[in-house]
Amino acid sequence: MFDSVNSYYKVHSRIYDLTRWGILFGRNRLLELIPEDFRPERILDLGCGTGKHLIKLAERFPDANIIGVDASREMLNKASAKVKPFERIQLAHTPFNTFLSNSEPFDLIVCSYSLSMFGDSHNYLELVHNSLAQDGLVAIVDFDHTPLKNFEHWMNLNHVEISGSLFTQLKNTFQIKHSETKSVYSGLWRYSFFVGRR
């Protein structure tokens, strides 16, 4: 197996966009959960990967400045080709905790299947909370829980934490605006949406 997230994505960046449709459910719906009247000026896509949400964010919020951050240079190389037409989109290759600790506040932070890969050794949720402007929103879709210990172990080997604790922590960190859980593959695992306010 891969000994780090970076080594994982050095390989998976080549096939990521072709293979994740059957695993990363809810990504297309995530931005629909952001209130229609919300007008963020600064947006962060934390763990932006190959840039799936960056383009949609730029189209939906034409006046916003958008930053996509990822720890994988290979994934950002894929994103870079997609965002070239949008001067308002910047990409940053940096550790998430370093970036969050030194950033100006954001009105919206989007996390699509990234938080479950971070762990919480750097208090990421607290950093995300503190990186939001007053009344800023966080919008998240991610793995939630599996009842099968063998599958949980397999996901852990792929650097994904799927114990169910993430969304409990989110509800304790942010004011809940929307929370929803769905089951896939006859209950093999659950994924959840969360929209919260600072």
| Domain residue extents for the chain | 5-197
Which pLDDT does position 171 carry in this prediction? 95
Q: Residue-wise pLDDT tens for the chain (198 aa)? A: 445 555 544 444 444 554 555 678 999 999 999 999 999 999 999 999 889 899 999 999 999 999 999 988 888 988 998 898 889 999 999 888 889 988 899 999 999 999 998 765 557 899 999 999 999 999 999 999 999 999 999 988 888 899 889 999 999 999 999 999 999 999 999 999 999 999
The domain over range 5-197 is classified in CATH as 3.40.50.2300: no
Q: How far apart are CA 192 and CA 107, in angstroms?
A: 22
- Token pair recorded at residue 185: 């593959």
Which pLDDT does position 20 carry in this prediction? 57
pTM, whole model, 2 decimals? 0.89
